[in-house]
Structure 1
Amino acid sequence: MRWSLSVFRLVGDREVHLHTTHRMDTAATVRQAYFLEVQRPGVCRVAINEYVTETISWPVAQSELPAGSAPAARPGAADRREYFQVPAYGPAPLVSGDDVRTLLAEMHELQGRGQLGIPDPAGAVILRCASTTIGRVAALDDLPAA
């Protein structure tokens, strides 16, 4: 879970957005930033934005990898990323099926040169991953205890 703060002030009878902070990783940091922001002159409201990211992954065969430069975007998800991973070669996300094929070809070439410790690309598990971030407005009392 991560958070950001949106800071507002009154201009006449209208509430105007001043800025939104970067995302913060701890509730203690959010509380500290919140109390600093509410003390600033002219600030009328500070909103806490809470973000939860869910990631799912499932194995795919190399023959199932899409052609082209990137996975197809899914409609309806405001903040959704799709990518691939080959855990045998590290956690780095690979943006497209072409990136996966390139990585496997490079690993096959290195293995053919006798590089020790390189897992066999033929048996490598390929994961297709989807990460979706959902945001909501939260209250100070909603933050987890420090």
Structure 2
Amino acid sequence: MEITPENFDAATGIRVHPDQEFAVEPVMQSLAEAYVHPPGVAWPRLIMDGDRPVGFLMAFLDIDWNGRGDRSLIRSGLWRLNIAAAEQGCGYGRFAVESVAAELRRRGATEMYVTWHEGEHGPEDFYLRLGFRKTGEKSEGETVGVLALD
């Protein structure tokens, strides 16, 4: 669901487990980043279960991965994923990844990228279970993963 004035407080109220805070920025920071990038780069969404907010995701769309204007490194993927602490383990994270994958396929993408912090309480196992594979790259100190969308 798009972020609107009506659901803004619900979106910014999403909190991950305290021991996961090192691995993902708060929703407020994500929304600020979406605002300062050119239109169409960020795709922020509130994840709902009926009328209950359970998470937040933000995709990145067609970014110049290395910032050098190399068209061969234009990528799209999952930028942020925050599932509320009490809602984890219920399939909402998988739903979020599948939702971003469906949107990227609709836009013609054949791959979906994600980055993650390694370490205890990090999301690496989650992404690997969903089929992402490590590329061997790092982005701002985070591991880069890719998922084929075919």
TM-score, normalising length from structure 1?
A: 0.21
Structure having the larger proportion of residues in helix: 2
TM-score, normalising length from structure 2?
A: 0.21
Larger radius of gyration: 1
